[in-house]
Amino acid sequence: MAKRKARGETIHGEGRDSLLMSKKWIVGLKVLAHAACLGPVAWLLWRLYLSVTTDPTALGPDPTHTVTFFTGRGTLRLLVITLAVTPVRRLIPKLSWLVRFRRLLGLYAFFYACLHLLTYVWLYAGWSWAAMVDDISQRRFITAGLAAWLMLLPLALTSTSWSIRKLGGKNWNRLHWLTYGAAITGAIHYWWGVKTGVKTPLTITVVLGILLLARPVLKYRAQSAGLRAQRAEGKVAS
Amino acid sequence: MLIGKKSDIPSSEITPKETYMNRRAFMAGAAAGLGAMAARRALGMADTGPGGLQKLTTVKSPLSTPGLTPTAFDAITHYNNFYEFGVDKGDPAKNAWRLKTRPWTVEVEGLVKQKKTFDIDALLKMRPLEDRVYRFRCVEAWSMVIPWVGYSLSELINQCDPLPSAKFIQFVSLDDSKEELLPWNAGISWPYVEGLRMDEAMHPLTLLTFGLYGDVLPNQDGAPVRVVVPWKYGFKSAKSIVKIKFVKGQPETTWNEMASNEYGFYSNVNPNRDHPRWSQKRERVIGAPIFRQLQPTLMFNGYEDQVAKLYTGMNLMKDY
Q: Which of A59, A192, A197 sits opposite B290 (nearest CB)?
A: A59
CA distances from B141 to A65, B234, B253 (A): 10, 10, 20
How far apart CA B306 and CA B303 sit, in angstroms, is 6
Query: A230, A232, A208, A210: which is closest to A220 by C-alpha?
Result: A230
B140 in contact with A, Cβ within 8 Å: yes
Q: Which residues contact B81 (CB under 8 A, 6 or more apart)?
A: B89, B92, B138, B140, B234, B235
> What is the b/e burial string over B135-160, where b = at least 16 CB atoms within 10 angstroms of the residue's CB?
bbbbbbbbbbbbbbbbbbbeebbeeb
Q: A61 and B187 in contact by Cβ < 8 A?
A: no
Q: Which residues contact B260 (CB under 8 A, 6 or more apart)?
A: none
Is 80 exceeded by the pLDDT of residue B167? yes
**pLDDT (0 to 100) of residue A236:** 53
- Tell me which of A141, A142, A195 to substitute to probe the interface with B (most B C-beta atoms closer than 10 Å): A195
Distance (Å) from the alpha carbon of B287 to chain A's nearest alpha carbon: 5
Query: B6, B9, B186: which is closest to A199 by C-alpha?
Result: B186
pLDDT digits (tens, 9 = 90+) for B94-117: 999 888 899 999 999 999 999 999
Confidence of residue A3 (pLDDT cuts 50, 70, 90): very low
Is residue A137 within 8 Å of A144, Cβ to Cβ?
no
The DSSP element (H or E) to which B147 belongs, if any, is: strand B142-152
How far apart CA A75 and CA A193 sit, in angstroms, is 15
pLDDT digits (tens, 9 = 90+) for B248-298: 999 999 999 888 888 999 999 999 998 888 889 999 999 998 888 999 999
Is 60 exceeded by the pLDDT of residue B10? no
Q: Taking all residues of chain A, what is their mean pLDDT, rounded to a whole number? A: 85
B259 in contact with A, Cβ within 8 Å: yes
Side-chain half-sphere exposure of A38, counting CA atoms within 13 A: 7
Is residue A159 within 8 Å of A106, Cβ to Cβ?
yes
**pLDDT (0 to 100) of residue B186:** 77
**pLDDT (0 to 100) of residue A223:** 78
Q: How many Å from the N-terminal Cα to the C-terminal Cα in chain B? A: 26
Phi and psi at residue B117, to the nearest 5°: -130, 125
How much is the average pLDDT of A191-197?
A: 82
How far apart CA A91 and CA A70 sit, in angstroms, is 31
**DSSP-assigned letters across all residues of B207-270:** EEEEEETTEEPPGGGT-S-EEE-TTB-GGGS--SEEEEEEESSPPP-HHHHH-TTTS-SS-B--
Confidence of residue B87 (pLDDT cuts 50, 70, 90): confident
Set of chain B residues whose Cβ sits within 8 Å of the Cβ of A70: none
B190 in contact with A, Cβ within 8 Å: no
A188 in contact with B, Cβ within 8 Å: yes
pLDDT digits (tens, 9 = 90+) for A204-227: 999 999 999 988 888 887 777 765
Confidence of residue A231 (pLDDT cuts 50, 70, 90): low
- Tell me which of B69, B277, B286 to substitute to probe the interface with A (most A C-beta atoms closer than 10 Å): B277
pLDDT over 90 percentage in chain B = 65
pLDDT digits (tens, 9 = 90+) for A64-114: 999 999 999 999 999 999 999 989 988 888 888 888 899 999 999 999 999
Is 90 exceeded by the pLDDT of residue B182? no
Say whether B319 sits in a helix, a strand or coil.
coil
Q: Which of B3, B78, B89 sits opposite A202 (nearest CB)?
A: B3
The region of weakest confidence among A24-38, B10-24, B50-64 is: B10-24
Set of chain A residues whose Cβ sits within 8 Å of the Cβ of B7: 199, 202
Is 80 exceeded by the pLDDT of residue A5? no
How much is the average pLDDT of B114-138?
A: 97
Side-chain half-sphere exposure of A124, counting CA atoms within 13 A: 23
Is 90 exceeded by the pLDDT of residue A169? no
Higher-pLDDT residue of B14 and A137 is: A137
Nearest CA in chain A to B141: A65
Is residue B77 within 8 Å of B220, Cβ to Cβ?
yes
Is residue B218 within 8 Å of B42, Cβ to Cβ?
yes
How many beta carbons lie within 10 A of that of residue B231, not counting itself?
Answer: 28
Confidence of residue B199 (pLDDT cuts 50, 70, 90): very high
Sign of the CA dihedral with B220 first, then A195, A48, and B144 last: positive
Count the residues in chain B.
320
Give the alpha-carbon dihedral of A191, A196, A199, A203, to 10 degrees: 0
**pLDDT (0 to 100) of residue A226:** 66
How many beta carbons lie within 10 A of that of residue A135, not counting itself?
Answer: 21
**pLDDT (0 to 100) of residue A6:** 43
pTM: 0.79
**pLDDT (0 to 100) of residue A40:** 96
Say whether B167 sits in a helix, a strand or coil.
coil
pLDDT digits (tens, 9 = 90+) for B214-246: 999 999 999 999 999 999 999 999 999 999 999
**Counting Cβ atoms within 10 Å, is residue B236 exposed (0-12), middle (13-18) or buried (19+)?**
buried
**pLDDT (0 to 100) of residue B175:** 76
Give the alpha-carbon dihedral of A177, A178, A184, A185, to 10 degrees: 170
**E strand intervals along A49-135:** none
Phi and psi at residue A191, to the nearest 5°: -60, -40
Higher-pLDDT residue of B53 and B245 is: B245
Nearest CA in chain B to A51: B289
Query: A172, A232, A176, A164: which is closest to A6 by C-alpha?
Result: A164
pLDDT digits (tens, 9 = 90+) for A30-65: 999 999 999 999 999 999 999 989 888 899 999 999
Count the residues in chain A.
238
Angle formed at CA B209 by CA B105 and CA B233, multiple of 5 degrees: 115
Q: What is the CA radius of gyration of chain B?
A: 19
**pLDDT (0 to 100) of residue B239:** 96
The region of weakest confidence among B81-85, B139-143, B154-158 is: B81-85
Q: Taking all residues of chain B, what is their mean pLDDT, rounded to a whole number? A: 85
How far apart CA A51 and CA A65 sit, in angstroms, is 14
pLDDT digits (tens, 9 = 90+) for A126-166: 888 988 998 888 888 899 999 999 999 999 999 988 998 98
Confidence of residue B319 (pLDDT cuts 50, 70, 90): confident
Higher-pLDDT residue of A15 and B235 is: B235
